[in-house]
Amino acid sequence: MDCTVARDGLLEAEVEELRGDGDSALARHLRACATCRAAAERILAAYAALDASLAVERPRRRMPRTLRWLEVAVPLAAAAILVLVLAQPSVHIPAAPAASATSAASAAPLVSAPAAHDVTVMHTDDPNIVIVWIN
């Protein structure tokens, strides 16, 4: 193996090969060639620096004991409130008194249907809510 092929192989080599361990062509070349071995040692040093920087544990701020219980209590309280709200019977809002036929007839139309479309107006029990459906 020549140095050009060996340098290309350094970029994909396993750590054992970079150390010259094993019987691969690259490992044998690194044991014999000081120049390529020096390049492999620089790569190994970079791996070691990377491993050291990843191993450093970042300091974590500890939450005071009085606040740690909130991590559990807040979600539990929210779930309990949701259960109570969903367990309540549905609330029925009484209908407003019906408008007289004369006042409804004299009122302006709510919508004008665009050409080639149908419009359906649905009144609800709440006089403030009217559903307009355009087909």
pLDDT digits (tens, 9 = 90+) for 36-80: 999 999 999 988 888 887 777 656 666 666 666 667 677 777 777
119 falls within a domain: yes
Euclidean distance between the first and final Cα of the chain, in Å? 78
pTM, 2 dp: 0.42
Distance (Å, rounded) from C-alpha 5 to C-alpha 79?
64
* Residue 20 · residue 33 · CB < 8 Å: no
Q: Tell which of 39, 55, 71 closes a domain.
A: 55
84 falls within a domain: no
Residue 134: predicted pLDDT = 72
| Lowest mean per-residue pLDDT among 10-19, 32-41, 76-85 | 76-85
Q: Tell which of 31, 55, 79 closes a domain.
A: 55
Q: Which domain holds residue 123?
A: 110-134
Number of folded domains in the chain?
2
The residue that leads in pLDDT, 65 or 95, is 65
9 falls within a domain: yes
